[in-house]
Structure formats: C-alpha cells, structure tokens
Amino acid sequence: MKLAFLGTGNMGAPMALNLIHAGHEVTVYNRTLRKTDPLAKAGARLAQSPADAVGGADVAITMLANDQAVREAMLAANAGQRAAIDALARGAVHMSASTISVAFSKELAEAHTTRGQGYVAAPVLGRPEAAAAKKLWIMAAGPPDQVDRCRPLMEAMGRGVTIVGEQPWRANLAKIAANFMLASMLETMAEAFALIKKSGTDVHPFLEILNALFSSPVYTNYGQIIAGGQFEPAGFRLTLGSKDVGLALAAAQDAAVPMPLASLIRDHYLSAIAHGRGDADWSALAEVVARDAGLA
Amino acid sequence: MKLAFLGTGNMGAPMALNLIHAGHEVTVYNRTLRKTDPLAKAGARLAQSPADAVGGADVAITMLANDQAVREAMLAANAGQRAAIDALARGAVHMSASTISVAFSKELAEAHTTRGQGYVAAPVLGRPEAAAAKKLWIMAAGPPDQVDRCRPLMEAMGRGVTIVGEQPWRANLAKIAANFMLASMLETMAEAFALIKKSGTDVHPFLEILNALFSSPVYTNYGQIIAGGQFEPAGFRLTLGSKDVGLALAAAQDAAVPMPLASLIRDHYLSAIAHGRGDADWSALAEVVARDAGLA
Amino acid sequence: MKLAFLGTGNMGAPMALNLIHAGHEVTVYNRTLRKTDPLAKAGARLAQSPADAVGGADVAITMLANDQAVREAMLAANAGQRAAIDALARGAVHMSASTISVAFSKELAEAHTTRGQGYVAAPVLGRPEAAAAKKLWIMAAGPPDQVDRCRPLMEAMGRGVTIVGEQPWRANLAKIAANFMLASMLETMAEAFALIKKSGTDVHPFLEILNALFSSPVYTNYGQIIAGGQFEPAGFRLTLGSKDVGLALAAAQDAAVPMPLASLIRDHYLSAIAHGRGDADWSALAEVVARDAGLA
Amino acid sequence: MKLAFLGTGNMGAPMALNLIHAGHEVTVYNRTLRKTDPLAKAGARLAQSPADAVGGADVAITMLANDQAVREAMLAANAGQRAAIDALARGAVHMSASTISVAFSKELAEAHTTRGQGYVAAPVLGRPEAAAAKKLWIMAAGPPDQVDRCRPLMEAMGRGVTIVGEQPWRANLAKIAANFMLASMLETMAEAFALIKKSGTDVHPFLEILNALFSSPVYTNYGQIIAGGQFEPAGFRLTLGSKDVGLALAAAQDAAVPMPLASLIRDHYLSAIAHGRGDADWSALAEVVARDAGLA
C-alpha cells in the first residue's frame, strides 16, 4: 500500500520502519526533519509538509503527541497550503495511532466522513522498545471494512489487535482507560513503597512478593524503577502521563462518571510538575508521595 | 514435628491438611468444631481449647481472621483455663499466618520473647483454592534461626517464601501492603469499567486489552468478576478487605505516611457496607463506583 | 453615563435596574427578549443585538452564564453583523461581571487592548435578592483609571468593592476561589450532617452549634437548606456550581497547584449530575454524600 | 456546689476559675501540679490524686486531652489507690468537658450508670481566651435531670448551651463534627490561598472578600493566620487537630458513613506531622498544601 506516516518520534519511527520492512511504500513527515534520516535510509520518501505526505496515500497514519499536534498536522492550513485532510484522497483512510481525546476523535470522524474519507482510531500500547520489536498491542475501532483495510498495517507493527467497536472514539477511550490503569498502578506502588520505606523495611523482598502476586512484567518493571528511584531517562514523560490522566477526566466529565482515583493522580502529577519534574518518567509521581511522607 | 494449628476455616483447613500430608503430627483447634471433621479423618488430633492444642507443640500455627481472634486464641485466659501462650513450651515457636496489625504483631513478639518462646510472622498470599493446591506464597519475618525452623512447614503449604526481615512485624506490614495493592487494583478497574460502561462501550474488548497489557492472572480473574458483576459467592469478604485497608491506614498513621488512595478505598468500602454489601466479594466496591456514576 | 448591559437574567436584571435608578442611560440586550420587559418599563432602551447595544456606550457591562456566552455576545460575528467588540468605541470600557475563566479573561484583555478599549473584570458575590437590594459585593481588577471610571457603576449595584489587582483576570481568579470556598462549605456540611443523621441524632441542635461557632449568615442559610433537604427551587443551579469548580481546577492546573478538595467536589457534582440533579440547588451535593452513606 | 475539676491546662484552668468566681467550692487536680497554683490562690483546694479530688464532690468535671487521659484519670486504679470513678459518690455526676471519642463516651456512660452515678457530656467550643472570658459555647447531652443539675456550672463557664440529646455521646459526636467543620475550613483556605499566591496575586484583597462573603470572625481569624503563615505559637496544636479528625473518622467508620473530606484532612495532617509540624497550630496544614504546590 501507499502509506503516509506523520510523526516519526520515539514511537513513530520504529513503527514506520516496520511498515517499510513489510513492503509498503511509505512517505514520512516529521516537524523535526533530523528524525526522518534513518527512515530515508530505509527507503522512505520524505515529505515537506503533512499535505505533501498524504497526497497520494491509501492510508495516512498519525502518531503524534496530543490533540493539538494532530490538529495542526491534519486540520490546519498553514502558510498558504491547504490542510492535509483536504489533500487526502476521497476513499483513503486516516489511521490515527495517537493518544487523543474522545472529543477530538469524534470531531475527526465527522471531518473525514464529510470528505468521503475513512477514519480508524488505532492507538497502541507499548514503549519504544516494544514498537521496535513489533510487540505493540493495538486497539482499533472504526467501520469494519475500514478496520479490515488497516489490519495488515496493524499486524506489521504489533503483536495483536483488539477491536473495540465501530465508532473510532471507542478505541481512544479504551486507550485512555488503559493508561489510567497504568498510572493507578504507579500511584499504588508509590504509596505501598512509601509505607515500607518509612518503616525502615527493605523494599526488595516486597518486589519479590509483587512478582509472586501479580506475575506481571509491568509490575516487575515499574516496581524496580520506583524502588530504585530511577526516573531518568524518561520512558514516558510525566507531562504526557499528566495529559493522559486529563484525557480520562475529560471523558469522565462528559459521561458524568466520578473517577476519584484519576483525580488523585491528577493532583499528584500537578505537584510533580510544580516541583519541576515534568520531564522525568511518569513513575516519578512516587517522589510526590515520598515527599508527603517526609522521605528525603 | 509436633504442630498445633489454630483456626481451620476456608484457608486454615487446607493448610493444616498439607501439613498432615507432609508427615507432621498435627493437633487442630477451631471454635466451630464441625470444621475440624475432615482434618480428624486425615489424622489430626482435635483439641478442646487453644491451650490444650499448643501444649506439647514444637510450633503453634495460627490462621485466624483478625487481631481480636488471635488475641482471644493466644492471649486470653478463658473459663479458668490458662492462656494458650502460657501453655506453649519455652523454646517452642508461634508461627502466625494471620493477617494482623503491625502493632499487634509487635505486642505478640514481646509477649513471646518474655516467655522464652519464638515468634515468626508468616502471612500468606492466595485464596482457598491456592491453599489446597499448595500454591500459597508465604512472606516470613523473624529471627533467622526461628524462620529456618519453620521453613519446612512453609514449604509444605506453599510454592515459595519471601524473607522480609528479622522483626516479625515486617512480614505483617508486607502482607498489608500487598493486600492494599490488590484493593487498589479493584478500585482502578471499578473506575475504568464505569467509564467504559457508561459510554456504552462493550467491556469485553477492554478485558482483552488488560490481559495484553498486564499479562497477569490476577487482572484476568478480577477483570472478569467486575465486568460480569459476579460478586457472590465471596472469594474474600468485603468486610475483611475493609479491615485490611484499615490495617494499612493504621500502619500508615503510626509511620506518618499519607496514603490517599488507601483513604479513598476505605471510604468506598464504607459505602458498600452502608449499602449492605459487607458479605459480598471485596471486588464489589465496583458497585459503589458504578452507583456514583448513576449506573444501575 | 451611557451604558450597555448584556445579559438580563436573574442577576443581570436587578443589576441593570439599579443602574437605571442611579440615573444612567442604559441599553439592554438579552437573548430571550421577554426578560427585558421590566427594564424597558423602567426606561431602558432595548437593543436587537449585542453590537447594537454597545454601539454608543461608554461602558458595556456583561453579566452572562459562562465563557461561551460571553464569547458569543462579545466576540462572535453573527448573521453578517460585526462582533460587539468591534462595535464598541475606542476608549470605551468593557466591564465583565460574569464568572468566567482566568484564561478567557486574559484573552478578553488582549482583545480589548488591541482595539484601544478598556477592560475591567468585576465579578460579583451575592444571590438575586442581594442584587435587587444593592447588596452585592464586587471584586474588581484592571488598570486603575479604568476601574475608577467603573466605580460609580459598582457602587450603584453593590454594598462594597474590593480591588484585587491591576490585571483583570485576578478578579476572576478571586471570584473562582470564593465560589470554591462556598462549595467546600457545602461539602463539609454534607459530610457532617450525614454523620449526625446516620447516628440518629437530631440535626437542629447542630445547626445551633454552627451558628454559635461561625456566626455567619451563609452557614445559617445553607445549614437550613441542607438539614431540611430543600434543594428546590435552585438559588444557584448545581450545573453552574459544577462549572465553577471546573474553573478553579482549570486555573489550578495552569498554575500547577494541586487542589484535592476541589477535585473531590468536582467528583461529587458529577455524581449529582449522573443522578439527574443538575437543575437542583448546588447544595444538593449533600444528596451524593447522603447516598454514599446509605441514607435514603 | 462541691466540685472536682480534673485537668487544669490552658482550657481547664480558666474554666475552673470561673466556677470558683461563681461561688462554687472547687477541688482541682492536675498531673502537673505547677498549673494549679493560680487556682489555689483563687481559693481552690488542691487534690493529690483524681480519687482524692472527686471524693466528696457533687459534680466532677474533666477537661483532659483525649480518651487516654480521661481513662487514666477516671478509670485507672493507680499505685494501690482505687479508681476515681469508685471514689465518686452514688448520685454524683461526672460532667465530661473533654473532646473524647463516641465509643469511649458510651463506655463511660455505662460505667457510671452501673455505679448509680450520673454522667453528662458537655464538650466546649472556644479557645483559651474564650474560656477566660466566659465565652465558651457548650454542647451538652445526658439525662435531662442530670443536665439540669449541671446547667448552672455550664452557665458559669460559657455564653450559651445547646442541648444535643439524652445520650451523652451525642454531644461528643456534635463536638467532633464541629471540629471537623473547622478543620475543613482550614483545608479550604489552604487550597484557595495556594492558588492565589502561586498566581502571584496579593492575598489581602481575598481576605477582605472572605469577610464580605462569610462575615464570620472564625474566617477572619484563621484567614489572617494562614495568609501570614503565623503558625506559632499554636492556639490549638496540630497533633490535637489530627486526633480530632481521627475521632470523626472513627465515628464515621462505626456508622458506615464515608467522609472523604475528613480522609483528605487526615492525610494532610499526617504529612504535616511527617515534616515535624505536630506542635504548630493546626492551621499549619496550609504548609502541606503550599508545599505540594511547590510554594516555598
């Protein structure tokens, strides 16, 4: 297929590379050009603008930081050029892999439908290493025929796909809820470890207990990070984690669902940001909990 | 070894049975005699009182519901009889498998030390099925020589042991923290599922996503329970879960550690109890979250 | 002075009337025309559009429900007509009495400065009865000369003025913080009364104690409302209270200030809305607390 | 009347003095003898023990720090001497002015009833200055005839009395709820001031606004303390405030009433204690909120 790929950062670059390796014809665009070099070497065409990138594409994939970045890439008409969405062909599909808000996903769906284009939300679970290793888990939603068209692309980038529903925003909601599950696990560990540390008890046996209890690589991984206070370099930046909890609260507000734990995490992330830790790993919310307990 | 086993309920009975099968000479005591029948058939001696049970034991094991039950069994002198702790031989060890408070565990340690007896805290992770299948995980703490004496017993009852430290209460703290981790997972799922359900999205794809994300049997198990609202029969009663969160908050208060997530869970458990759900499974705190969201 | 008054609802109408009584020449505009009848009888000129209203005004006053309503009235160019802000004369002042967000107040300040117009934020404290009785308390912020120009208007509408600062948004922030103080008082009463009621204790002695303790008419008033469950008719609608707590949380997010109590109230308001109580008085968040306690 | 007064600290001493001035025959006891000197000069008899003090009394008044202190003074048999409760005459009344738990108040009621003694709970609202100025507000509960007997004493110490009910514990519950109302006000102010300060806005206009809004001397007083950060010397020590919130949560637990705001305050007090601020004024919980916001 002819593909456009917008956003070749830590996550997007390995994803695009896997698409190239799978034999697709990929045109990439990134605001910072330097990040596209390795892709060009692998055979990608470099586009000068989003509109340029998506021009002849069957499927345009976006992998960007937030609503605003997707809005700028797809909907904004910059510098006299038409917006990418207007350059995308009728019948082509926008496959949005970014973690965006439910509200914006609904807006995108309407914008594409109006133009006779397809729109599939396909956010991904996994860190950059997982993206490189083709081990992402993809949650997709959209009209079944459009999802089917995108499925080979998903399979080229991940180890599995869950179909969430026929309205694209449902996949975004699932992704937001999944990230909330992770952030809650971080808060939980932060409190448990603060209790154990402040009582003067070694945390390593507790890590072993968590492994025995959950048998989950996610607990093992974050348990070690939090126990050791290894919040740099960030695997996933705290400001992004904070943004994602905000997306959960925004969706919860629209649906009139109280999520007091999400509120608690939001407040802890704000405290971390107030203490200048926005660029640390999102598990550094453990520092907030430790500080509140008077731990150094 | 000559063993006394006090408390042969859902958990204690299969644990005691595994000790009998491992070749130990076991005397059992339970307030409700009926529960000791299967053990008698398997070869256990039945005692008429805690003091009677622990009289000639090398190790006395307690597996009871809470501080008060252990206090009554070990420390109380009832009906003119001396307290079990005074019937236990000098040099014998009390191995406490119950989930009790840090404060009471310290009190027990002193009471045993004063009498020249050993005391090991060895609370267990796992449900009754795991106890029957010898799959408990045991977290032990106490003086190393005493822990070593108890180790064959632990191995007869579980699949693994973590040594938490040399002061018995540290194992109780670890157990309390582990149960807090589980309760937090329940709260987290409750909020995520409320969000997804209220938005009219099918929860089953989200269960699949949680499996892909955590790869943890605990998430799989509780995810199904909460998604399906299957809170009866209780695997672990909500009042006991509420008690355990209370133990975490008590330990946190003594150590001056704020645990806002534990506070939140405490309040949700109170609401569940206020609505008459104390005997449901502790995952029924999801009903509280759902009700707050206006879900039926 | 020649005044334009946009928004003659429950609060705006008595405020505009007081300006007429003070001898000003007032042109009023309201989306629902019916609400302007009594003002017309009192001598107000009726305008057909916001732009029409502010055309010849020295000061244009807005008293509208939220950001969106002020945006539509002042900034939107509707039906081929130019926006009100473009109809307002250079050198004229926009005095914004609405409870709007800090972010939008900053946007308005810039929009007016660009056009050589003045802008003063002057939100008010008080219910409709207070507005009618000229008993509002006004918190004003803006460039001192512009505030001075507006002062006679404020004095015609209220019993006192607090100058908060020279940037208009600071008055909006103060208003948002003041409403948060009130909402917190409601949550506090809700919890205290739930405790007292559920214990089977008469609430009336407790009301007397609150009077003795705070000597505050606000406590007396809301204490009676909550104790008696008199949430209809709404003095201030719950959806508006919910909006105002949202404004506090938005300002707190921008300033990186955790406000866990505001988060808690937000979640309780969401629950009230989920149970269909958005049109009740904002003190009906007591129903949420009572329901969580299992009170009927 | 012949009175015994146990506990002549900051509050108790001026209360006892007012009873002497009202013409009663007062015997005082305090663990630290030094504090009784001024009372001796005013005509009080000094007792050597609680039992000694209450021996011939018509009414024994206790004004002590907490459950434990009242338990030691009234129920404990120390150093071979009988307990004060056993020294109190049949038909005499124990008037308990301390802030104690609901559970302990019930225990006291039973202990006195068993002995044919009366028991009235009469906790007080007000700081030491109010006690000296006879301006306390007293909330009393107990059998009406016993309350009537104590009424002249209450009137000698305060400006007003609210009768809460016929079971003494109801007055303790009301006192606990009243202190929760105050602590919540402190948390509310702490959050509002953090928001205002962090935005670089002067807090003094906001104090003026709070006065206009609540017209309450309590808001004025604590507003100034928090705005100015004047947390020493303590008017009411933070550890005592923390204890009182604990009493509210204990009562709430027994009644199955979630009080999430009380939980939040509890956690903030724990953080203050973790940072060594237990002896500051209880309004120093504002420091916790400010620190979480990154304010110095």
State which residue of chain B sits closest to D246, comparing Cα positions: B253
Spell out the per-residue pLDDT of chain B, length 296, in tens: 999 999 999 999 999 999 999 999 999 999 887 778 889 999 999 999 999 999 999 999 999 999 999 999 999 987 678 899 999 999 999 999 999 999 999 999 999 999 999 999 999 999 899 999 999 999 999 999 999 999 999 999 999 999 999 999 999 999 999 999 999 999 999 999 999 999 999 999 999 999 999 999 999 999 999 999 999 999 899 999 999 999 999 999 999 999 999 999 999 999 999 999 999 999 999 999 999 999 97
Contact C186/D at CB under 8 A: no
How many other CB atoms are there within 10 angstroms of residue B68's CB atom?
12
* Separation CA C97–CA B41 (nearest Å): 83
| CATH homologous superfamily, domain A173-292 | N-(1-d-carboxylethyl)-l-norvaline Dehydrogenase; domain 2 (1.10.1040.10)
Name every residue whose Cβ is closer than 8 Å to that of residue B74 and which is 6 or more positions away in sequence. Answer: B6, B50, B62, B83, B84, B85, B94, B108
List all chains that touch chain D, counting a touch as 3 or more CB pairs closer than 8 Å. A, B, C
Residue C141 and residue D176 in contact, taking contact as beta carbons nearer than 8 Å: no
The verdict on a CB contact (< 8 Å) between C199 and D139 is no
pLDDT confidence of residue C33: 76
Instruction: Decide the pairing of beta strands A136-141 and A124-125.
Output: antiparallel
pLDDT confidence of residue C101: 97
Q: Which residues of B210-237 are buried (b: 16+ CB within 10 A; e: fewer)?
A: bbbbbebebbeebbebbbeeebeebbbb
Spell out the per-residue pLDDT of chain A, length 296, in tens: 999 999 999 999 999 999 999 999 999 999 887 778 889 999 999 999 999 999 999 999 999 999 999 999 999 987 678 899 999 999 999 999 999 999 999 999 999 999 999 999 999 999 899 999 999 999 999 999 999 999 999 999 999 999 999 999 999 999 999 999 999 999 999 999 999 999 999 999 999 999 999 999 999 999 999 999 999 999 899 999 999 999 999 999 999 999 999 999 999 999 999 999 999 999 999 999 999 999 97
Angle (deg, nearest 10), helices D169-198 and C260-274:
110
Q: Record the pTM.
A: 0.96
What six digits make up the tokens of A14?
């390995």
- CATH topology agreement for domains B2-166 and B173-292: no
Active site residue D175: yes
State which residue of chain B sits closest to A267, comparing Cα positions: B260
Closest residue to C218, CB basis, from D209, D213, D217:
D213
State which residue of chain A sits closest to B248, comparing Cα positions: A195
Of B122, C111, B19, give the one whose Cα is nearest residue B28.
Answer: B19
Closest residue to D294, CB basis, from A275, A293, A294:
A275
Closest residue to C273, CB basis, from A256, A264, A266:
A256
Q: Which fold has domain C2-167?
A: Rossmann fold (3.40.50)
**H helices, E strands: number in chain B:** 14, 9
Angle (deg, nearest 10), helices B217-228 and A204-214:
50
The verdict on a CB contact (< 8 Å) between A271 and D292 is yes
* Separation CA A96–CA A84 (nearest Å): 14
State which residue of chain A sits closest to B139, comparing Cα positions: A209
Give the model confidence (pLDDT) of C15-27 as tens digits. 999 999 999 999 9
pLDDT confidence of residue C81: 79
The domain segmentation of chain D, as residue ranges, is 2-167, 173-292
What six digits make up the tokens of B239?
């009042």
CA D78 to chain centre: 25
Residue D6 and residue D36 in contact, taking contact as beta carbons nearer than 8 Å: no
List all chains that touch chain B, counting a touch as 3 or more CB pairs closer than 8 Å. A, C, D
Contact A293/D at CB under 8 A: yes
Give the model confidence (pLDDT) of C38-55 as tens digits. 899 999 999 999 999 999
Chain C residues with CB-CB distance to D189 below 8 A: 181
CATH 3.40.50.720 matches A2-166: yes
pLDDT confidence of residue D225: 97
The CA-to-CA distance between both ends of chain B, in Å, stands at 55
Annotated active-site residue in A175, A197, A198, A243 = A175
Mean pLDDT of chain C: 96
What six digits make up the tokens of A237?
């930046």
Q: Which residues of B132-165 are buried (b: 16+ CB within 10 A; e: fewer)?
A: bebebbbbbbbbeebbebbbebbebbbebbbbbb
State which residue of chain D sits closest to C168, comparing Cα positions: D201
ipTM: 0.96
State which residue of chain A sits closest to D285, comparing Cα positions: A292
Chain C residues with CB-CB distance to B296 below 8 A: none
Closest residue to C267, CB basis, from A263, A270, A273:
A263
The CA distance from A116 to the nearest CA of chain D, in Å, is 47
pLDDT confidence of residue D80: 74
List all chains that touch chain A, counting a touch as 3 or more CB pairs closer than 8 Å. B, C, D
The answer, yes or no, to whether residue C250 has pLDDT greater than 80, is yes
pLDDT confidence of residue A77: 86
Chain D residues with CB-CB distance to B270 below 8 A: 252-253, 256-258
The verdict on a CB contact (< 8 Å) between D274 and A294 is yes
pLDDT confidence of residue A2: 97
The CA distance from C46 to the nearest CA of chain A, in Å, is 37
| Count of CB pairs separated by less than 8 Å, A with D | 27
Residues 30-89 of D with CB under 8 A from C: none
The verdict on a CB contact (< 8 Å) between D263 and B259 is no
In 3-state terms, chain B is what percent helix, strand and coil (to 5)? 55, 15, 30
The verdict on a CB contact (< 8 Å) between D174 and C206 is yes
Radius of gyration, CA atoms only, chain B: 20
Name every residue whose Cβ is closer than 8 Å to that of residue A66 and which is 6 or more positions away in sequence. Answer: A98, A99, A100, A240, A243
Closest residue to A274, CB basis, from D267, D274, D293:
D293
* Separation CA A97–CA A108 (nearest Å): 13
State which residue of chain C sits closest to A249, comparing Cα positions: C267
Provide the strand spans (E) within D152-260: 158-165
Torsion angles phi and psi, residue B195, rounded to 5: -60, -45
In 3-state terms, chain D is what percent helix, strand and coil (to 5)? 55, 15, 30
The answer, yes or no, to whether residue C294 has pLDDT greater than 90, is yes
What six digits make up the tokens of B21?
């099968």
The verdict on a CB contact (< 8 Å) between C137 and D213 is yes
Strand partners, B4: B27, B60
The verdict on a CB contact (< 8 Å) between C173 and D216 is no
Chain B residues with CB-CB distance to C294 below 8 A: 271, 274-276
The verdict on a CB contact (< 8 Å) between C185 and D188 is yes
Chain B residues with CB-CB distance to D273 below 8 A: 256
pLDDT confidence of residue A33: 77
What six digits make up the tokens of B110?
């002193």
CA B238 to chain centre: 13
The verdict on a CB contact (< 8 Å) between C199 and D289 is no
* Separation CA B120–CA B139 (nearest Å): 10
Contact A110/B at CB under 8 A: no
Give the DSSP letter of residue C216.
-
State which residue of chain D sits closest to C206, comparing Cα positions: D174
What six digits make up the tokens of B263?
């506070």
The verdict on a CB contact (< 8 Å) between D292 and A274 is yes
Give the model confidence (pLDDT) of D24-54 as tens digits. 999 999 988 777 888 999 999 999 999 999 9
pLDDT confidence of residue C296: 78
The answer, yes or no, to whether residue C79 has pLDDT greater than 90, is no
Residues 236-275 of D with CB under 8 A from A: 260, 267, 270-271, 274-275
- The H or E element containing residue D120 is strand D118-121
Chain B residues with CB-CB distance to C276 below 8 A: 294
* Separation CA C290–CA C284 (nearest Å): 10
The CA distance from C251 to the nearest CA of chain A, in Å, is 12
Query: Sign of the C-alpha dihedral, residues D13, D14, D19, D23?
Result: positive
pLDDT confidence of residue C124: 98
Residue D138 and residue D158 in contact, taking contact as beta carbons nearer than 8 Å: yes
Closest residue to A174, CB basis, from B205, B215, B219:
B205
Query: Sign of the C-alpha dihedral, residues C208, C210, C216, C219?
Result: negative
Q: How far is CA A174 from CA A140, A155, A252, A282, D221, in A?
A: 9, 19, 12, 20, 49
Closest residue to A258, CB basis, from B214, B252, B293:
B293
Of A283-292, B72-81, C267-276, D92-101, where does mean pLDDT reach its minimum?
A: B72-81
Give the model confidence (pLDDT) of C204-244 as tens digits. 999 999 999 999 999 999 999 999 999 999 989 999 999 99
The verdict on a CB contact (< 8 Å) between C260 and A270 is no
Strand partners, A160: A137
* Separation CA B33–CA C104 (nearest Å): 72
The CA distance from A17 to the nearest CA of chain B, in Å, is 23
The CA distance from C67 to the nearest CA of chain D, in Å, is 20
The verdict on a CB contact (< 8 Å) between C291 and B288 is no
- For every residue of B234-252, DSSP letters joined together read -SSBHHHHHHHHHHHHHHH
The answer, yes or no, to whether residue D23 has pLDDT greater than 80, is yes
